Amino acid sequence: MKHAVAMALALAALPAHAQESPAARSLAATCASCHGTDGRSATQEPVSLAGLPKEQVARAMRAFRDGSRPSTIMQQLARGYSDEQIDLVADYFSRRSR
Partner 1 sequence: MRRRGFLQATGALALAGCTSISAPGRARVVVVGAGFGGATAAKYVRLWDPGIDVTLVERANEFVSCPVSNLVLGGSRTMRDITRRYDGLAKHGVRVLNGDAVALDAANKRVTLANGSTLPYDRLVLSPGVDFLFDEVAGYDNQDRILHAWKAGPQTAALRAQLEAMPDGGVYVLSIPAAPYRCPPGPYERACQVAHYFKRAKPRSKVVLLDANPDVTSKPGLFKRAWQELYAGMVEYRPNARVVGVDASAMTVRTDFDTVKGDVLNVVPPQRAADIALKAGLVTHNNRWCDVDWRTLESKAMKGIHVLGDATLSATGMPKSGHMANAQAKVCAAALVELLNGRDPNPSPVMNNTCYSFVSDREVIHVASVHQYDAGQSTMIPVRGAGGISPARSEQEGVYAWSWARNIWADMLA
Nearest approach in angstroms of CB 88 to partner 1 is: 11
Q: Alpha helix (H) ranges present in the chain?
A: 2-13, 22-35, 54-66, 74-78, 83-94
Angle at 91 between CA 87 and CA 93, to 5 degrees: 120
Q: Kindly state whether residue 19 participates in binding partner 1, applying the rule CB under 8 A.
A: no
Site string for partner 1, 53-82 (x = CB under 8 A): -------------------xx--xxxxxx-
Shortest reach from residue 2's CB to partner 1, in Å: 30
* 23 C-beta neighbours (distance < 10 Å), count: 12
Q: What is the dihedral of CA 46, 37, 58, 97, to 10 degrees?
A: -110
Distance from C-alpha of 64 to C-alpha of 24, rounded to nearest angstrom? 20
* Nearer CB in complex with partner 1: 3/98: 98
Indicate which single residue of 15, 68, 97, 98 sits in contact with partner 1 (rule: CB under 8 A): 15
Interacting residues with partner 1 (CB under 8 A): 15-17, 22-23, 25-27, 29-30, 32-37, 41-46, 72-73, 76-81, 85
